[in-house]
Amino acid sequence: MSKNQEIADLFEEMADLLELTGANAFRVNATRKVARTLEELPSDVGDMENDPKQITAIDGIGAGSAKRIIEYLQDDQIADLEALRSEVPTGLIQVLGVPGLGPKTVATLWKEANVTGLESLRKAIDRGALESLPRMGKKTVDNIRQSLDFVAAASTRYRLDQAMQEAESIVASLSSTPGVNKITYAGSLRRGRDTVGDVDIIATTSKPDALAERFTSLPEIAKVQAKGSTKCSIRRTSGLQVDLRMFKNVGYGAALLHFTGSKEHNVVLRQRAIDRGQRLSEYGLFEENDGDEPRLLEAESEENIYAALGLPWIPPPLREDRGEFVDQLPTLIEIKDIRSDLHSHTTASDGKLSIEEMAKAAKKRGLKVLAITDHSRSSFQANGLDVDRLKAHIDAIHEVNDNIKGITLLAGSEVDIHAEGNLDYEDDILAQLDIVVASPHMPVKQEPAAATKRLIRAVSHPLVNILGHPTARLINRRAGLEPDMAAVVAAATDSNTALEINANPMRLDLRDTHARLAMEGGCMISINTDAHGADQFDLLRYGIMTAQRGWVTADRCINTWTTAKLKKWIAAGRTS
């Protein structure tokens, strides 16, 4: 298992503790950057123990951090971190996570009021120890108390689909407000991240006060946190925070660009502007003007701002500072490219509709191919099919296929991958299917090495066409398997097996970074909804967003292929 995440967590902790000691902010930032760099590093820093040069060659990691990384690899601890831990109560890191409390305030709370964690903060508030501190009035203390309650109650990030539903409903409610010209959501939601911390809405309007009024009096608001003429902030009863930014009827592109982020992407863009004697903010791209007011170069469209910075327009899912600042970007896959869904369920196992009803629902959405892949026998909780039921089911699918026009049905199965990597049906049964999706279900907790072995064995099976939801994670509920994904990708590439991006927003598995690995490793991708009913076909959009974040192109996704090409690929995979 890669050491990257483990060490990244330590650097993140180090950054928090440094901040609390009042360390130089740039040093804190540099430490956080090391953490982020490690998180996204495709190779394992654990393999570089004997080669410091290899570590310092990584952008953002210098000699100091390399030394600490090697120290951890050899001694299992970092002396500087241990020193910080003994200096600063580690419970203060949770206090830093309370909205409204930053490093300066937390340090004051610690030194002046003996706050060492969430519990002692609560007690300090209750005994009135905070009011006497500098810049600490009644209102501030009240806000801290409320934030504390919120932290105790809420999970920190919201699933993409949950945030999307709230955002789309808010945008729809506000778009008819008098004066509003353009309005949309931005932020990590627009970038299609699998979870979002809050929702950012951008609007241009000639009457900001009217819009602010409407926004802060929407239904389902738990608290209005800020209300100004350019910015408002609310917390919904769901716990989700929504920020509204209002702009005059100019500069929509600059605003959208700024608030779409990511922060890391924006930092690079701004630096690029500075290198050209320019300045980029949410109001536009400006040119220095000999001490006079800077001159506005461009603000209306994202395309023009990028162009002025010498870049092509960068699609929001790519805006993560993960290599997107290049002259030529790939053409990302879109919903309209998708012709088939190769993972779906019917009443034969745990779906809600019959074969024919699913086929009609898929056809109605413009799909040309639908694979019916009900659960295999070991998934008894999902009414998985034993061999006799499966044989009858194959016949039933073929019969519906013979009688329906405009869509091709494939008789498949979502076959459980057992703990050791063996499959839930014998080969002679699998050979009777038109397509095989093999997925890990139980167990979902396994040592990384065992999980890697399990998945490699499954993708290497000649009768397996697609590896379904490879890690079996459930967002905000369980972490799932942690295989060496690069090794799984390599095995899948060798055996011509596609890796699935399961579009169900509870899964989004492969996740974005894994999809990117798959693209770089050369294996095929399959984007499927895993639909258990008609409305779940509409979840495809989330799978597409994840695919775009993984730099997936249409030609590498088997669901974009013609029926003939798809069938040929399935057949070819089975001869090996």
Partner DNA sequence: GCCGTTTTCGGCCCGACTGTTTTCAGTCG
Per CB under 7 A, residues contacting DNA are: 24, 26-27, 29-31, 33-34, 56, 59-66, 80, 98-106, 134-141, 143, 187, 197-198, 200, 225-231, 241, 243, 259, 263, 266-267, 270-271, 274, 279-283
Burial of residue 285 (CB within 10 Å: 0-12, 13-18, 19+) is: buried
On whether the CB atoms of residues 102 and 135 are closer than 8 A, the answer is no
Whichever of 98 and 371 has its CB closer to DNA, that residue is 98
On the question of a cis peptide bond just before residue 99, with omega within 30 degrees of 0, the verdict is no
501: which DSSP letter? E
- SS3 assignment, position 94: helix
In angstroms, give the least distance from the CB of 190 to DNA: 12
251 vs 351 by CB, closer to DNA: 251
How far is 14 from 81, CA to CA, in rounded Å?
Answer: 6
> In the bound complex, what is the minimum distance in angstroms from residue 475's beta carbon to DNA?
20
Cis peptide before 73 (omega within 30 of 0): no
The least distance separating DNA from the CB of residue 240, rounded to whole angstroms, comes to 11
Closest CA to 511 of 497, 521, 501: 501
As to burial, measured by CB atoms within 10 angstroms (0-12 exposed, 13-18 middle, 19+ buried), residue 207 is middle
What angle in degrees, to the nearest 10, is found between the helix axes of 485-494 and 512-521?
Answer: 40
Q: Whole-number minimum distance, CB 233 to DNA, in Å?
A: 7
Q: How far is the CB of 506 from DNA (least distance, A)?
A: 24
User: Considering beta carbons, is residue 30 or 540 the nearer one to DNA?
Assistant: 30
Token pair 């009688």 is at which residue? 403
- Residue placing its CB nearer to DNA in the complex, 40 or 538: 40
Q: How many other CB atoms are found less than 10 A from the CB of residue 408?
A: 18
Q: How far is the CB of 6 from DNA (least distance, A)?
A: 18
Closest to DNA by CB, 186 vs 464, is 186
User: Are 242 and 199 within 8 A, CB to CB?
Assistant: yes
101 vs 518, beta carbon nearer DNA: 101
Query: Which two structure tokens, joined as six digits, stand for 423?
Result: 């499959």
- CA 506 – CA 107 distance, rounded (Å): 38
Determine contact, residues 309/326, Cβ cutoff 8 Å.
no
Is the CB of 11 or the CB of 551 nearer to DNA?
11
Q: For residues 243 and 185, what is the distance between their CA atoms, to the nearest angstrom?
A: 10
DSSP track, 132-196: TSTT--HHHHHHHHHHHHHHHH--S-EEHHHHHHHHHHHHHHHTTSTTEEEEEE-HHHHHT-SEE
The minimum distance between CB 195 and DNA, in angstroms, equals 14
Q: Shortest distance, CB of residue 244 to DNA, whole angstroms?
A: 10
| Least distance between DNA and beta carbon 276 (Å) | 11
**Residue 349: CB minimum distance to DNA, A:** 42
Residue placing its CB nearer to DNA in the complex, 33 or 393: 33
Query: 64 vs 533, which CB is nearer to DNA?
Result: 64
**Alpha carbons 308 and 181: distance in angstroms, whole number:** 25
Amino acid at 360: K
Of 104 and 391, nearer to DNA (C-beta) is 104
